[in-house]
Chain A
Amino acid sequence: MSEDAIVFAQDLTKHYQVALKEESLLATLRHFFFREYRLVRAVEGVSLAIAPGEVVGFLGPNGAGKTSTLKMLTGLLHPTKGTARVAGHVPWRREKAFLKKITLVMGNKQQLVWDLPAMDTFRLNAAIYEIPEGEFRKRVGELAEMLALEGKLHQPVRKLSLGERMKAELLAALLHRPEVLFLDEPTLGLDVNAQVAVRDFLKEYNRRYGATILLTSHYMADIAALCPRVLVIHQGRLLYDGALEGLLERFAPYREVGLTLKSPLPKEALRAFGEVREVEGREARLLVPRERLMERVAEILKRLPVEDLEVKEPPLEEVIARVFQEGHVEEPR
């Protein structure tokens, strides 16, 4: 796999120091003369291999090491330890040929020139990436159509809505047709419609151009819609690398049982059947270990006044939150 991989990392590690300061006046004075530092272990021995054309989701809570990993893979950070190759290059050498093959989109930062129409930034990028004029026009037309951005490219960027601005950011970042896309929270702050539009675009872009995409997002819907494979990182370590369904199997070895009761019952009365997630009136949700599901359902049907019962996968958000909160998964009783 690693031989064919377009993104490959082995034992990638990033440690750095940050200055510490407490808030009192005395602490400020002390900080001025004697700085104290704390070692941040942002990334710890991450190894991964991504094949050309794959779309991979990168999950983790804030500060888990996602962005640091992306920055190492795009050459913005030197690793403390480990190796990486992206599109045949060592990223942190920042060779021109490498920079022309990749792109990084950060949802919280923008490269478009604020006071000018987006078209001017595109022209600038076309010149920097040495895209011939005819090809530039063609690509802008194509991408603007895919992103439904026609008619917006000649307005100053500051007059665009947040969703339109993000789409224009994507257009600017993809004009040189990179082989590998690193997307850090590309749907951050967008409304649901704009999120769906960006998602659909990325799907279509991947299908049309065979680009490899590594994407971080807090929105599970992004991951579920785009990424057959996910990487889960927590406290700098890779916890999981595999199919999205496998993630549920591994981190959520339980099912959710939804109950509609004939009459309301207190939480305590339900505890014997599983972990009670929610009780509201006659509705209740329980988590039950997968291997004991049949037995527990039978018990519930026998002992409780059940009107309706439904078994489903627990929501992805909940599973992920659980992994991150606990650092590991506790089996429900």
Chain B
Amino acid sequence: MRKAKTLLSVYLAYMLEYRAELFLWALAGTLPLILMGVWVEAAQSGAFPLSPGEFARYFLMVFLVRQATVVWVVWEFERDVVEGRLSFRLLRPLDPFLDHLAAHVAERLARLPFVLLLTLLFFLLFPEARFVPEPLPFLLGLGLTVLAFLLRYLMQYTTALLTFWSERATAVEEVFFLLYLFLSGTLAPLEVFPEPLRSLALLTPFPYLVYLPAAFLAGQEVALFPGLGVMLFWGGVFFLLWRLLWRLGLKHYAGHGA
């Protein structure tokens, strides 16, 4: 417990050193708010399953979920391996997975005030998007957001481990990001996807990283199952992959001159 507290407090201090950058990073995540404008306008025609107000709420929640689930561990890990700093992490009796995770959680805390500020500004500009959430779906949405963050972190950390072989795992992550952008519900809620694509998307891990938590938070009518089951399934798959790649990767790293 003390370990977690100290890790968080030191990383929080570290993140707060970059206050201005944090604000810019939060601002850089406002793509959903721009898309919201497009979809709200399109929804005026009434040709979509969501009303303009529902679209506005959905994209606001997409913005918040994405702020809460930003992950950059692949860039950090790649730099550690290429610059040889991974050695220091390996010499400590703490798995680098947890070390990086603590830094991500701390960043979340440091980012929170900026995100709240942007949300307030949003409600001020779009009064029609204001709503009082139902407590249960909202709490479920919060829980799913935490799970979404953990899954995204696990997926990206697993990708990062490819650095042991290719030294440029970020290239693989870029491909993943493209899939994430299309299938996660960042560009459009899954309700508007054409049918075969929608069912297919729901089998991948991506909609559970954004769409499912955002839909719950926005108070849309969505089912928890089988979505949560698919999410946990992918969690299990990436967990096993992480452990396997870590073991093989360390052997490879240690075999090739570290």
Contact = CB atoms under 8 A, between A and B. Distances in A.
Mutual binders A and B: yes
Interface stretch (A68-76, A255-263, A300-308, A319-327): A68-76
Interface stretch (B43-51, B215-223, B248-256): B248-256
B13 A120 contact: yes
Interface residues of B, number: 25
B117 interface: no
Interface string B75-92: 000000000110110111
A42 interface: yes
Interface string A269-301: 000000000000000000000000000000000
Contact of B7 (A71, A94, A99, A127): A127
Nearest to A108: B84
Contact of A68 (B9, B91, B257): B257
B166 interface: no
B254 A129 contact: no
Contacts of B191: none
B73 to A, nearest CB: 17
B34 interface: no
A127 B10 CA distance: 11
A74 B92 CA distance: 11
Contacts of A100: 93
Interface string B94-121: 1000000000000000000000000000
Contacts of B251: 78
A17 interface: yes
A115 B17 contact: yes
A124 B85 CA distance: 17
A92 B13 CA distance: 34
Interface in A2-19: 16-18
Interface string A110-130: 010101100011011111111
Contacts of B93: 96, 99-100, 128-129
B199 interface: no
Contacts of A116: 10, 13-14, 17
Nearest to B88: A111
A109 B90 contact: no
B249 to A, nearest CB: 13
A170 to B, nearest CB: 14
26 contacts: A16-B255, A40-B257, A68-B257, A71-B87, A71-B258, A75-B91, A77-B254, A78-B254, A96-B93, A104-B91, A109-B84, A109-B87, A111-B88, A115-B14, A116-B13, A116-B14, A121-B10, A124-B10, A125-B92, A127-B5, A127-B6, A128-B7, A128-B92, A128-B93, A129-B92, A130-B3
B194 to A, nearest CB: 40
A124 B88 contact: no
Interface string A97-111: 001101110100101
Interface string A54-79: 00000000000000100100111110
A99 B92 contact: yes
Given A92-B254, A99-B93, A127-B2, 14 more contacts: A16-B256, A17-B256, A74-B91, A78-B254, A102-B91, A104-B87, A109-B88, A113-B10, A115-B14, A116-B10, A123-B9, A128-B94, A129-B92, A129-B93
Interface string B222-258: 0000000000000000000000000000010011111
Contact of A16 (B3, B10, B92, B257): B257
A74 B251 CA distance: 14
